Amino acid sequence: MPTPAPGSAELERWLRRAACSLSIFFVLLFLLVALRRLRYPFELDRLESGVMTSVWRIAHGQQLYSAPTLEWVPFLYAPLYFYLSAALAHMTGLGYGTLRLVSILATLGSLATIYASVFRETRRHAAALVAAGLFACLYDVCLGWYDVGRVDSLSVFFFLLALYATRWANPVAAALLWLLAFHTKQTFLPFGVLAFLPLWRTPRRMVAGMATFASLAWLSVHLLNRASGGWYSHYAFGTAHQLAFVPRNAILFLPVDIVGPLPVAVAILLAAAILRPPNLRSSATAFYGFITVLLLGATGFVRAHQGANINAVIPAYAWLCILAGLSIHRILGWLEDPASGLAPRHVQLAACTLWLALCAQLLAHIYQPGRWVPSRASIGYRNALLNAVRATPGDVWLVDHSYDGILAGKPLHPDWDAFDAVLGLPYPPVVADFNRAIAQRRYSAILIDYSEVNYAPDGVFTNPAFRAAYGLRASAPGSAQPNVTDQPQLTLLPCEDLGQLSAPLLPHGSFVDASGCRAAASPAP
């Protein structure tokens, strides 16, 4: 390569350092926010409460998967995250911090795996570091999901490790990692077989990986079903079909979810493919090309279903960051190759443009850390709510906050995000028990986070039988306070409580709507 001008070489070096520094900055920014959120004593995400209840059950020797009841319905997730969190809780104590610690460590592991994947292919520290930085900078885009106490961050970590092992390690080791990814989030089940297809040039490795994963996956599912009386498969594979397909989400997946947050990274991928077309006969092209098509297809399919959130796209973001790191290397390699035909001045200008574009891409995702950290007022509000629930006689059902009920000393109840599946299928024994509990006014109060009409299945909180039993509506304590998390907005009470406005869940000034009680009391025409 011809020697570039000293001034342009110095500029290129400073821009490269700037991109690397920004990457380190975003990793440290993630750690700052995650550590500040670690000890927040309430949920950061609406499902964290149900996940915490799941871990609480395991820690108290109860089954995770069992027949649905009014006391317990598990989520439709695989079990590994829950049991790993329960095991860690023996050392750290039972609380949300344990769940988040697993996710924080998993995200750091994902960043390290992204770095290792790019460096193994390119031997360029800058390309590998920027690839990791691109993933770290998406914390805000991913709505703070990296450190939330849910299965996603751990599943992404095992997914990336399994891809690394499939590319570089023994296929049996790769199969074991795919098994861990599958038992953290069952959507990775097809990857445990299909990811070995790019190894077709070495049939023994391909078959060894596929056979090991398939046999271990079948055996583990069989054992889980045997231990749970068949309920594991019911939850893990039997409830997802209720989610409706939304064509609009499928159409917008690529432009909105993929290109929108990372336009520079996508442009670098395209530039690398044009400037240095991949060798279609190489094993690297087969591996990266096939995994890209497979992952984008699978992610787009999941994202196109009702209820899918940005967490479904996180594996695709991690993979896109790896591809961006590889593309940086390919572009720089092309620029350094005398065969490119570029003058030294143009080579250095192009390199400066590349690093400047990457700096711009990183800077585009600067976010305010305080946005994701709950305020002290939030802690005060949630403690006040717990005290009000604790002081309320009888059984109080916090529909979207099952662990808050446990903390308040109330009986165990399922989170609605799990319970709505058995009502929607429907599962007749639970539907009958639920209708009976409502008719008998088993709950002294029911707290919900949203308007009654927003809960599925349709009409569950608005049908005449429910309104006849719980026709009194009041604002939940503190419902007007701003908070970064979901919080109860409405208290539903039996009509006979209308004269008890001094009850703990009906503080002075609460808005009370008794129209449901009046409608129930009116004689039929």
What integer pLDDT is reported at residue 133 of this predicted model?
A: 98
Tell me the per-residue pLDDT of 187-212, one tens digit each, with 9 for 90 and over. 999 999 999 999 999 999 999 999 99
In a domain, 262, yes or no: yes
List the structure tokens of 106. 């998993």
Tell me which DSSP letter residue 151 carries: S
The amino acid at residue 361 is Q
Tell me the per-residue pLDDT of 360-407, one tens digit each, with 9 for 90 and over. 999 999 999 999 998 888 888 888 889 999 999 899 999 999 999 999
Domain span at residue 393? 376-521
Domain finish residue from 318, 340, 371: 371
Task: Give the C-alpha separation, 199 to 165, whole Å.
Answer: 12
Higher pLDDT, 348 or 20: 20
Place of tokens 């080579």: 347
For residues 438 and 336, membership in a common domain is answered with: no
What integer pLDDT is reported at residue 239 of this predicted model?
A: 61
Composition of the chain by helix, strand, coil, percent to 5 = 65, 5, 30
What integer pLDDT is reported at residue 510 of this predicted model?
A: 66
Task: Count how many domains the chain has.
Answer: 2
Weakest-pLDDT range from 49-58, 304-313, 491-500? 491-500
For residues 149 and 118, membership in a common domain is answered with: yes
For residues 443 and 314, membership in a common domain is answered with: no
Stated as kind and residue range, the H or E segment containing 512 is strand 512-513
What integer pLDDT is reported at residue 524 of this predicted model?
A: 47
Asked if the model's pLDDT at residue 525 lies above 50, the reply is no
In a domain, 1, yes or no: no
When mean pLDDT is compared over 318-332, 390-404, 445-459, 494-508, the highest value belongs to: 318-332
For residues 329 and 397, membership in a common domain is answered with: no
What integer pLDDT is reported at residue 248 of this predicted model?
A: 80
> What's the average model confidence in pLDDT over 89-118?
97
Tell me the per-residue pLDDT of 408-431, one tens digit each, with 9 for 90 and over. 999 999 999 899 888 888 889 999
For residues 147 and 293, membership in a common domain is answered with: yes
In a domain, 135, yes or no: yes
Q: What does pLDDT average to over the chain? A: 90
Asked if the model's pLDDT at residue 148 lies above 70, the reply is yes
What integer pLDDT is reported at residue 240 of this predicted model?
A: 57
For residues 166 and 298, membership in a common domain is answered with: yes
Q: How many CA atoms within 13 Å lie on the side-chain side of 26?
A: 29
What integer pLDDT is reported at residue 482 of this predicted model?
A: 62
- The residue count of the chain comes to 525
For residues 419 and 357, membership in a common domain is answered with: no
What integer pLDDT is reported at residue 473 of this predicted model?
A: 86
Tell me the per-residue pLDDT of 230-275, one tens digit each, with 9 for 90 and over. 999 989 887 655 566 777 887 888 999 999 999 999 999 999 999 9
In a domain, 476, yes or no: yes
For residues 133 and 227, membership in a common domain is answered with: yes
Task: Give the C-alpha separation, 132 to 136, whole Å.
Answer: 6
When mean pLDDT is compared over 240-244, 304-308, 453-457, 494-498, the highest value belongs to: 453-457
Rg (C-alpha) for the chain, rounded Å, is: 26
What integer pLDDT is reported at residue 61 of this predicted model?
A: 94
What share of the chain has pLDDT > 90, as a percent?
Answer: 70
In a domain, 69, yes or no: no
Asked if the model's pLDDT at residue 298 lies above 50, the reply is yes
Report phi then psi at 523, rounded to 5.
Answer: -70, 145
> What's the average model confidence in pLDDT over 69-89?
95
Q: In what order do the strands lie in the sheet with 490-493?
A: 395-398, 443-448, 490-493, 472-475, 512-513
DSSP H helical ranges for 137-170: 152-168
For residues 41 and 94, membership in a common domain is answered with: yes
pLDDT band at 132 (very low <50, low <70, confident <90, very high): very high
> What's the average model confidence in pLDDT over 348-355?
95
**Contact by Cβ (8 Å): 254, 320:** no
What integer pLDDT is reported at residue 477 of this predicted model?
A: 77
Task: Give the C-alpha separation, 348 to 215, whole Å.
Answer: 53
Asked if the model's pLDDT at residue 483 lies above 60, the reply is no
Task: Give the C-alpha separation, 91 to 88, whole Å.
Answer: 6
| CA distances (Å), origin 93, targets 54, 98, 133, 137, 385 | 15, 7, 32, 31, 23
Task: Give the C-alpha separation, 104 to 153, whole Å.
Answer: 8
For residues 397 and 334, membership in a common domain is answered with: no
| CA distances (Å), origin 192, targets 178, 183, 222, 291 | 5, 11, 17, 12
What integer pLDDT is reported at residue 487 of this predicted model?
A: 81
Domain finish residue from 315, 346, 371: 371
Domain finish residue from 371, 406, 438: 371
Asked if the model's pLDDT at residue 306 lies above 60, the reply is yes
Q: Which residues pair with 493 in a beta bridge?
A: 472
Angle, CA of 187, 307 and 104, to the nearest 5°: 60
Place of tokens 């717990």: 386
What integer pLDDT is reported at residue 472 of this predicted model?
A: 86
For residues 233 and 106, membership in a common domain is answered with: yes
CA dihedral sign, ordered 375, 378, 379, 381: positive
> What is the number of other CB atoms lying within 10 angstroms of the CB of residue 281?
8
**DSSP strand pairing (395-398 vs 443-448):** parallel
In a domain, 397, yes or no: yes
> What's the average model confidence in pLDDT over 17-40?
97
For residues 311 and 403, membership in a common domain is answered with: no
